[in-house]
Structure 1
Amino acid sequence: MFSIDSYLQPHESFHFARKLLDAKPPRFAHYHDYYELFIVEKGAVNHWANGRDERLEAGTIACIRPADVHHVSAAADTGAQIINVMFRTDTADHLVRRYGADLENHFFWSTEPQPATYTLSGPRFERGVNLSLDLQTTRRSLARIERYLLAIMTGVVDLSEQSDPTLPGWLIQACAQARLPEVFREGAAGFVMAAGRGHEHVCRKTKEHLGVTPSAYINQIRMEYAAHMLRSEDITVSGVAELIGMENLSHFYRTFKNHYGITPRAYRHQHQKSPF
């Protein structure tokens, strides 16, 4: 069994690693006394867990529980780079006690035999990687790991895009359509139009099932898209605001800062630097 105390000092609350994997599987599977999250950043991995082998492509987040017996190796045809975060069990216990209504039966608290996995793409994948890379240089504090985990579980992974049988079909479709630029540029009105239902009904059901208003849901997507453009494209900040349908530049700056804690210009400066 692997122990968290082999990786952490007493004052530390998490361990971070970003590494290339070998295509040769480890000799032995293992379990451990901590929780583990890994993101397949590049390529694909072969993940053997609890007697089952599964290929996980880039963009996959895996949530490993202490009792899961597993090992991971790079797929021979692609190679793999992963981001790995390990943290103490009391951190997970605190989060599920406090936020159980949102977290129970998902992520590290899934009751399924296999570890929970979630697939990210586009701006959500970018955001998950960016949030994770921020852990490289931050203090290994309890506040930092709790903030990170909540951001991943409530902001990066969108459970509405997973298989939830209680979601109305029209709402699932609206959430999918909302990721199209021609929809999110129109704001909440674009979401309502994609839903094909009355405005009040859409607002009520979106709040009931997703916990946010259509406007907040669309703005989250807009900000993710904006962050992706700022990080990867050579386009002005005002050009990014126009692309996402925010003609008022002050409003864009304010909304972006509310989501990421820094201005668009500061975000671009920070994330266009090499992480190495």
Structure 2
Amino acid sequence: MTLHHKDILQTGQQIRLTRATLTSARPKILHDHDFFELFWVQNGQVRHHLPKGAQTLTEGDMVFLQPGHHHGLQGRGDHALVVSLCIHPQTIKSLAKRHTSLNGHLFWSKAGPVRMHRDIRQLAALNHAAVMLERSANDTLAAEAFLLPLCADLTAEAHPDTIPQWLADACNAARDPAVFREGAAGLVKRSGKAHPHVSRMMRKHFGETPSDYINRIRMEHASRALTTDSDPVSQIAADCGIPNMSHFHKLFRAAHGLTPLQYRQKYQRQIVQPQ
């Protein structure tokens, strides 16, 4: 089965974003497409089927595909959510022509589908950019505004990681609901350091306070729950460790530009997978 960009992109569009909750059914056949595709795992685990085998992808994994690449997606467990972009070939060709440093990387690699990863902080930034893209006209300007910062970041030369290991470990631990429900105190407790010291180091390395960091993770958790679960908003807020609904709405709207109910109504949808 071949998917065609003319059936997905409307007149004047160069890019289109789709959010999909994958079923656990294995795809009967692999499909390809005449456009460039980028997708990432927003939540859960995904089995990515390719002609030479399958890969298990987890939250934050992203894959760059060229026209003609055959593949299929299968959810693993509950709430496997992916975000996918259909990108007009002309946009990708134009970027490579004007930015030669992209050649050999990502969409422009000769090694087949390219797999990358975004950590929790990078994934939050990616999701924010995705929301901005959804609000746009999906034209050339919007496509490049989304793609160029991402591609520049991924192709940049790696720099030594100067974040202290204790801080990196604490931030990774903060992704656990059992930790972020405790708020900033949960992160600080896992660090084994004094709160003022943790605050200074987080401002230095992340440019935000422990509370900012935790609330960002909470709002990402809430956004995933709103699009994959049918639990009441009050239950999702409680699961985030924020029983005060007024405070929860304030944080969510600041993070996503919509109320929780508006976000659920806009993004919650079921998937139809190529079979």
TM more than 0.5: yes
C-alpha distance in 2 between matches for 1:10 and 1:234? 35
Matched to 2:62, the amino acid is I
Asked if 1:265 corresponds to 2:261, the answer is yes
Does the 8 A contact of 1:43 with 1:57 survive in 2? yes
Identity across the alignment (%)? 27
Give 1:1-276 correspondences, 5 Å limit.
11-14=12-15, 23=29, 36-39=37-40, 43-46=46-49, 55-59=54-58, 60-63=61-64, 71-74=69-72, 83-86=84-87, 88-89=91-92, 108=106, 115-118=114-117, 131=130, 139-142=137-140, 144-145=142-143, 148-149=146-147, 165-274=161-270
C-alpha distance in 2 between matches for 1:185 and 1:91? 46
C-alpha distance in 2 between matches for 1:231 and 1:256? 14
C-alpha distance in 2 between matches for 1:213 and 1:275? 37
Secondary structure in 1 matching 2:69: strand
Matched to 1:258, the amino acid is A
Matched to 2:139, the amino acid is S
TM-score (norm 1): 0.59
Show CA shifts across 1:214-233 (max 9, x none): 22211111011112222333
With over 3 angstroms needed to count, the CA separation of the structure-2 counterparts of 1:211 and 1:145, relative to structure 1, is farther
Give the Å deviation of 1:13.
Answer: 3.2
Does the 8 A contact of 2:227 with 2:269 survive in 1? no
Number of aligned residue pairs: give it: 234
Show CA shifts across 1:159-185 (max 9, x none): xxxx97433211221122101222112
C-alpha distance in 1 between matches for 2:48 and 2:13? 29
Give the Å deviation of 1:21.
Answer: 7.0
Show CA shifts across 1:132-164 (max 9, x none): 8x85x96322454356558989xxx9xxxxx97
Structure with more relative contact order (C-alpha pairs < 8 Å, separation 6 or more)? 2
C-alpha distance in 2 between matches for 1:266 and 1:196? 39
Matched to 1:178, the amino acid is A
Does the 8 A contact of 1:174 with 1:194 survive in 2? yes
Secondary structure in 1 matching 2:71: strand
With over 3 angstroms needed to count, the CA separation of the structure-2 counterparts of 1:10 and 1:231, relative to structure 1, is closer
With over 3 angstroms needed to count, the CA separation of the structure-2 counterparts of 1:56 and 1:146, relative to structure 1, is farther
Structure 2 unaligned blocks of 5 or more? none
Matched to 2:239, the amino acid is L
C-alpha distance in 2 between matches for 1:199 and 1:24? 51
Q: What's the counterpart of residue 100 of structure 1?
A: none
C-alpha distance in 2 between matches for 1:91 and 1:183? 45
Give the Å deviation of 1:260.
Answer: 1.3
Matched to 2:199, the amino acid is C
TM-score (norm 2): 0.59
CA RMSD of aligned residues (A): 5.1
